Every structure is written in C-alpha cells, then in structure tokens.
C-alpha cells in the first residue's frame, strides 16, 4: 500500500448506576453503566472518531449530532459501521485498530474476545486486525474514583 493514514480517537462518559454498560458492542454485567444520548459505548465512539480522523472526515458529533432525537439510545455499532462505509467510499482499507478502555471496575478482560469479534464484524475486517486493551486508573482522578470511563483508539488506513 503506497498511502497510509493514522487516526486518533478519544471518548469519555460518566458512570451512573442503573444504566446498561455496553463496551465494544458487548453488554457487560454490571450494576452501573455509562450515561449518554446514545447507548454511550465509549470504546465504539473512540474507534469511530479514529476512523473519521484517519480519513479527515470530521468527528462523530458532525455525523451523528446528539441534539438529533434520531440518535437517542442509538446502538453505537451503527455509528461505527457508518464511519467504515464513509472511509471505504474514500477508497481506504482498514489496516488495523488498537484501543484502550480505562475503567476502574468491573474487570473487562473476560469480554475481550467477544468485543474483538463484535467490532471486527461491524467493521468488516478480520478479528486479528482488532486489538482491545483495558486499564484501571489506579484509583486516581474521576476514572479512578469510578465517576467515568475513557477510551482511546488508533486506526491505520491504507490505499494503493
Ligand atoms: O490498570 P492495571 O494495570 O492494574 O490493569 C491490569 C490488567 O487488568 C490490565 O492489563 C487488564 O488486563 C485488566 N483490566 C481489566 N478490566 C479493567 C481494568 C483492567 O480487565 N477494567
Ligand atoms: Mg461517546
């Protein structure tokens, strides 16, 4: 591939008890979840922004404004699939995605393979191109105090 582009994504959502916890398109067993206009899937939002960033196509809020009732409670896999379609319309192939979710609890590692499989299916790429990592914030700051969760993602695109 003669052309390569990299995109960076970051997202942050507040934690609230009673909300569903959905990360990477997978429902996680937890008594608290993430607050947001859509399903608040912090990881899928970070990956969506990384894809849009790599192709210089703006950001998630430009394509799916949270002021638009159409996206209330939306499944974020829909946002991710749409970003992949836009990127491919530009002639780009998705080479790989690497990501990190920063969440104090619950532990997410037992969900890793399910998240990779779901994200790969939504993005239309092989599972081996999708990496998902997890970290706590070591009890420091809002993430460490269990008030919020963050996610970071890097996407590489290529085209001839
Ligand atoms: O944050 P810390 O370095 O203590 O995390 C150690 C490991 O715990 C991570 O590499 C990850 O495998 C796992 N982890 C997890 N779910 C979290 C945070 C960390 O599975 N919410
Ligand atoms: Mg978000």
CA distance 89 to 155: 17
Asked if 11 and 44 count as a contact pair (C-beta separation under 8 A), the reply is no
Q: Is 136 in the pocket of ligand 1 (CB under 6 A)?
A: yes
What's the average model confidence in pLDDT over 79-107? Answer: 98
Q: Please give the number of the atom of ligand 1 that sits closest to the Cα of 112.
A: 20
Output the six-digit token pair for 90: 């530009």
Q: How confident is the model at residue 68 (pLDDT cuts 50, 70, 90)?
A: confident
98-155 pLDDT per residue, tens: 999 999 999 999 999 999 999 999 999 999 999 999 999 999 999 999 999 999 999 9
For the chain, domains (ranges, CATH) are 3-159 (3.30.1330.50)
Ligand nearest to the CA of 144: 1
Q: Please give the number of the atom of ligand 1 that sits closest to the Cα of 104.
A: 21
If one counts every other C-beta atom within 10 angstroms of the C-beta of residue 6, the result is 12
What's the average model confidence in pLDDT over 79-108? Answer: 98
6-16 pLDDT per residue, tens: 999 999 999 99
In terms of Cα–Cα distance, which of 101, 115, 112 is closest to 148? 101
In terms of Cα–Cα distance, which of 25, 27, 29 is closest to 99? 25
> What is the best residue among 134, 143, 146 to mutate for testing ligand 1's pocket, by most ligand atoms within 8 Å of CB?
134
Rounded to the nearest angstrom, the distance between the alpha carbon of 5 and the centre of ligand 2 is 23
Rounded to the nearest angstrom, the distance between the alpha carbon of 104 and the centre of ligand 1 is 8
């Amino acid at each position: 591939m003669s052309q390569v582009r990299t995109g960076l994504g970051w997202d942050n959502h507040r934690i609230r008890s009673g909300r569903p916890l959905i990360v990477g398109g997978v429902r996680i067993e937890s008594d608290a979840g993430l607050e947001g206009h859509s399903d608040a899937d912090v990881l899928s939002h970070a990956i969506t922004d990384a894809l849009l960033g790599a192709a210089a196509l703006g950001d998630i809020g430009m394509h799916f404004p949270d002021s638009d009732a159409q996206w209330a409670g939306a499944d974020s896999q829909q946002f991710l699939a749409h970003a992949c379609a836009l990127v491919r319309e530009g002639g780009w192939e998705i080479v790989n995605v690497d990501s990190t979710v920063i969440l104090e609890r619950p532990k997410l590692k037992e969900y890793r393979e399910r998240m990779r499989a779901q994200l790969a299916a939504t993005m239309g790429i092989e599972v081996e191109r999708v990496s998902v990592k997890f970290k706590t914030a070591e009890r420091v700051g809002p993430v460490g105090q269990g008030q919020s969760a963050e996610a970071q993602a890097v996407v590489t695109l290529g085209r001839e």
